[in-house]
Amino acid sequence: MDDLRRTEALLSQQQTKISARNVQVWYGDTHAIKDVSVEIADKTTTAFIGPSGCGKSTFLRCINRMNDTIPAARIEGDIEIDGEDIYDRRVDPVRLRAKVGMVFQKPNPFPKSIYDNVAYGPRIHGLARGRAELDAIVEKALRRAALWNEVKDRLTAPGTGLSGGQQQRLCIARAVATEPEVLLMDEPCSALDPIATAQVEELIDELRQNYSVVIVTHSMQQAARVSQKTAFFHLGHLVEFGDTATIFTNPEDSRTESYISGRIG
Partner 1 sequence: MSALVIVLIVCAIAAAGFVLGRARALASAGGDIRGLHSLPSYYGLNVALAALLPALLLLALWSIAQPLLVERSVAAMLPDGVDSALVMSDVRRVADGLALAVAQGALSPQEVAALDADATDLRATLGDVGVALGSAVTPEILDAARTHRAMSATGDLWRAIVVIAAALAGTAVGWSVTNSALRARNLVERVALALLAFAASVAILTTLGIVLSLIFNTLEFFRLYPASEFFLGTTWSPSFGGGSELGILPLLWGTLYISFIALLVAVPIGLFAAIYLSEYASPGVRGIVKPLLEMLAGIPTIVYGLFALLTVGPLLVELFGNGGPLGLGWMDGGTAVMTAGLVMGIMLIPFVSSLSDDIINAVPQALRDGSLGLGATRSETVRQVILPAALPGIVGAVLLAASRAIGETMIVVLGAGAAARLSMNPFDAMTTVTAKIVSQLTGDADFSSPEALVAFALGMTLFVITLVLNVFALWIVRTYREQYD
Partner 2 sequence: MSDAIAPTPPARAVSLHATDARTRRRNAAEKRFKAYGLTAIGIGLAFLAALLFAIVSNGSAAFTQTFVEVPITLDAEEIAAAESSIVKTSKYREIIHGALLEQLADAGIETDMDAAELGKILSSSEAAEMRDFALANPERMGETVRFDFLASSRVDGYLKGRVTRDALARDQNLDAAHLDLVDRLAEQGIVVKRFNWDFILGADASDQRPEQAGIGVAMLGSFFMMLVVLALALPIGVAASIYLEEFAPKNRITDFIEVNISNLAAVPSIVFGILGLAVFIQFAGLPQSAPLVGGLVLTLMTLPTIIISTRAALAAVPPSIRAAALGVGASKMQSVFHHVLPLAMPGILTGTIIGLAQALGETAPLLLIGMVGFIASNYPDGVVSGFTDPNSAMPAQIYEWAKRADPAFYERAWGGIIILLLFLMTMNFIAILLRRRFERRW
- By CB under 8 A, name the binding residues for partner 2: 81, 84, 86, 88, 90-92, 94-96, 99, 124-126, 140, 143-146, 148-149, 179, 181, 202-203, 206, 209-210
Among positions 147, 175, 200, 247, the unique one binding partner 1 when judged by CB under 8 A: 175
Q: How many helices (H) and strands (E) does the chain have?
A: 11, 10
CA 199 – CA 145 distance, rounded (Å): 10
Binding partner of residue 254 among partner 2, partner 1, none, CB cut-off 5 to 8 Å per kind:
none
Binding partner of residue 133 among partner 1, partner 2, none, CB cut-off 5 to 8 Å per kind:
none
Nearer to partner 2, 172 or 247 (CB): 172
CA 169 – CA 26 distance, rounded (Å): 32
Among positions 26, 27, 87, 110, the unique one binding partner 1 when judged by CB under 8 A: 110
Q: By the 8 A CB rule, do 257 and 249 touch?
A: no
Return contacts of 193-198, CB within 8 angstroms, 24+ apart: 193/164, 193/165, 195/165, 196/163, 196/164, 196/165, 196/166, 196/168, 197/165, 197/222
Binding partner of residue 143 among partner 2, partner 1, none, CB cut-off 5 to 8 Å per kind:
partner 2
Nearer to partner 2, 99 or 237 (CB): 99
Q: By the 8 A CB rule, do 75 and 81 touch?
A: no
Among residues 227, 225, 235, which one has the least CA distance to residue 258? 235
Does 26 participate in binding partner 1 (rule CB under 8 A)? no
Strand, helix or coil for residue 154: coil
User: Would you give the end-to-end CA distance of the chain in angstroms?
Assistant: 29
Among positions 58, 166, 178, 256, the unique one binding partner 1 when judged by CB under 8 A: 178
Binding partner of residue 27 among partner 1, partner 2, none, CB cut-off 5 to 8 Å per kind:
none
Binding partner of residue 86 among partner 2, partner 1, none, CB cut-off 5 to 8 Å per kind:
partner 2
CA 51 – CA 101 distance, rounded (Å): 24
Binding partner of residue 148 among partner 1, partner 2, none, CB cut-off 5 to 8 Å per kind:
partner 2
CA 195 – CA 47 distance, rounded (Å): 21
Nearer to partner 1, 94 or 136 (CB): 94
Does 66 participate in binding partner 1 (rule CB under 8 A)? yes
The span of 5-13, 101-109, 206-214, 252-260 binding partner 1 (CB under 8 A) equals 101-109
Nearer to partner 1, 113 or 217 (CB): 113
CA 93 – CA 143 distance, rounded (Å): 28
The span of 88-96, 194-202, 207-215, 218-226 binding partner 1 (CB under 8 A) equals 88-96
Among positions 21, 95, 152, 154, the unique one binding partner 1 when judged by CB under 8 A: 95
Region for residue 215 given its phi and psi (left: phi exceeds 0; alpha: psi -120 to 50; beta: otherwise) = beta
Q: By the 8 A CB rule, do 114 and 162 touch?
A: yes
Q: Write out the residues near partner 1 by the rule CB under 8 A.
A: 64, 66, 69, 71, 94-99, 101-102, 104, 106, 108-112, 120-121, 124-125, 171, 174-175, 178
